[in-house]
């Protein structure tokens, strides 16, 4: 494994574009795959204006919004512009002051695309950072899903480490959408102020960007906050119920829309399942309350099972682990377990590069564990068509080799159910 100190020395050579210049420029999907939010920060007052078009020599101006916020004595101005109704398969150029960027929209036929998924990536020891930047710019994936724990931490040194992190990733996240969800390290003891003010995610009708959903081709993507549970004692439980009420309605509607969007994929920071020693095999109170609820708080797993969620991603644990289909501690394994799965298929992908070392696995994997690795790396999910999705785990330790892969497939109209699981217990 390469020494992290060589990587750190490279990071410190970065210089910001300037105190008054736009920086930390990044994209995200907004209401759909062809509505894109463009966000950036300045440290002095500036108009939230950019110009864009399909030619760098012919662009139109668009005005957005500015949110000014103060954290530990530093004032930042977060600007956002929404580019609406973009044409599919088009190269777009956009300019903020004197800085020119470009991105390409997804194709109209969205049956196939690639996503880079990971959690737990910091500035220091960010082992996967250069690989993600390089491969993202090269078009090896179409967007990024970062499932919590950004920068380690966004708020460190009055938020300056967050600025450094966002500038470091700017070459790739100014080119492809960067979808994020909060992890426990986003708690800045100011109710996630740094996270809330830095990112524009798909709207839900709430003023909170910590949960949302978006349809992209055959997949209904849902991002959720497990941190409402993790910090309930500090901030109260109202956000838990707001998110839960939204989720039950959202998943019900997604299920009714399966003919058009057959897959449901969720991503959250803390996992339901894992088999690492430090986390007591993910049977700690925090995991149990997420799954089942407690003391009047609603759990999440029952909604996933009831609504036949197909795929679940989590981070938090600094390792990679692929699970057999599993529901309420019951697992279903075998040579055909990933075709027409009878329960959600979960991936733990929290090994992108935390500031601390990787997790130690339990001596024996839990029965629901199909494959596990403590290599640094990230997951690439390839949506092949309406019925097949391919998953690959990329190892940074092994020079970007694929160390695990699996196809998850289902027949048209397949949705797992309790009846299938009762029958399945006879065979797995």
Could you read off the pLDDT of 330-369 as tens digits, one per residue?
A: 999 989 999 999 999 999 999 999 887 667 888 888 899 9
Query: How many other CB atoms are there within 10 angstroms of residue 274's CB atom?
Result: 30
The pLDDT-based confidence of 12 (bands split at 50, 70, 90) is very low
Query: In which order are the strands placed within the sheet that holds 65-71?
Result: 23-32, 35-42, 74-83, 65-71
Distance CA 30, CA 37 (A): 6
Domains identified in the chain and CATH numbers: 4-8+109-424 (3.60.21.10)
Spell out the alpha helix ranges (H) of 52-95.
none
Question: Which tokens in the block code for residue 284?
Answer: 């700690």
Indicate if the alpha-carbon torsion angle 329, 310, 138, 162 is positive or negative.
Answer: negative
Inter-axis angle of helices 129-137 and 160-173, nearest 10: 30
Rg from Cα positions in the chain: 21
The pLDDT-based confidence of 11 (bands split at 50, 70, 90) is very low
Q: What is the dihedral of CA 241, 149, 290, 305, to 10 degrees?
A: 90
Distance CA 4, CA 275 (A): 26
Distance CA 255, CA 375 (A): 36
What's the pTM value of the predicted model, to 2 decimals?
0.94
- Using an 8 Å Cβ cutoff, are 377 and 394 in contact? yes
The pLDDT-based confidence of 19 (bands split at 50, 70, 90) is low
DSSP 227: H
Please choose, from the candidates 383, 399, 243, 221, the residue with its C-alpha nearest in 3D space to the C-alpha of residue 313. 221
Q: Residue 422: its pLDDT value, please? A: 85
- Using an 8 Å Cβ cutoff, are 26 and 167 in contact? no
Question: Which residue in this structure is represented by tokens 């957005």?
Answer: 64
Q: Which range is least confidently modeled, 15-24, 184-193, 251-260, 383-392? A: 15-24
């Amino acid at each position: 494994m390469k020494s992290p100190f060589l990587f750190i020395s490279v990071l410190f050579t970065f210089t910001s574009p300037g105190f008054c210049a736009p920086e930390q420029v990044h994209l995200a999907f907004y209401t759909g795959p062809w509505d894109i939010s463009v966000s950036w920060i300045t440290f002095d007052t500036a108009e939230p204006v950019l110009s864009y078009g399909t030619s760098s020599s012919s662009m139109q101006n668009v005005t957005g919004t500015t949110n000014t916020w103060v954290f530990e004595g530093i004032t930042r101005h977060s600007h956002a512009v929404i580019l609406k109704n973009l044409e599919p398969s088009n190269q777009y150029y956009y300019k903020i002051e004197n800085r020119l960027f470009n991105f390409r929209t997804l194709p109209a036929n969205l049956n196939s695309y690639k996503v880079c998924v990971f959690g737990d990536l910091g500035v220091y020891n960010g082992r996967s950072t250069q690989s993600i930047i390089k491969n993202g710019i090269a078009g090896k994936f179409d967007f990024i899903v970062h499932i919590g724990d950004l920068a380690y931490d966004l708020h460190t040194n009055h938020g300056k480490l967050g600025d450094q992190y966002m500038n470091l990733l700017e070459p790739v996240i100014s080119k492809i959408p960067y979808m994020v969800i909060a992890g426990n390290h986003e708690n800045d003891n100011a109710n996630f102020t740094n996270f809330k003010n830095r990112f524009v995610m798909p709207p839900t009708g709430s003023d909170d960007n910590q949960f949302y959903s978006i349809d992209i081709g055959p997949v209904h993507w849902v991002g959720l906050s497990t941190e409402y549970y993790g910090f309930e004692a500090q901030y109260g439980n109202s956000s838990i119920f707001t998110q839960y009420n939204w989720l039950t309605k959202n998943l019900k509607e997604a299920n009714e829309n399966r003919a058009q969007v057959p897959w449901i994929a969720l991503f959250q920071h803390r996992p339901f399942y894992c088999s690492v020693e430090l986390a007591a095999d993910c049977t700690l109170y925090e995991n149990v309350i997420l799954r089942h609820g407690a003391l009047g708080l609603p759990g999440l797993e029952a909604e996933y099972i009831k609504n036949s969620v197909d795929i679940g991603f989590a981070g938090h644990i600094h390792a990679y682990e692929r699970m057999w289909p599993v529901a309420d501690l019951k697992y279903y394994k075998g040579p055909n377990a990933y075709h027409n799965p009878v329960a959600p298929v979960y991936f733990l992908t929290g090994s992108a590069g935390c500031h601390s070392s990787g997790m130690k696995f339990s001596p024996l994997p839990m029965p629901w564990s199909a494959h596990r690795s403590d290599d640094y790396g990230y997951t690439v999910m390839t949506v092949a068509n309406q019925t097949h999705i391919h998953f690959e785990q990329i190892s940074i330790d092994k020079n970007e080799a694929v160390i695990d892969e699996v196809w998850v497939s289902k027949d048209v109209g397949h949705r797992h159910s309790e009846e299938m699981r009762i029958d399945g217990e006879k065979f797995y």
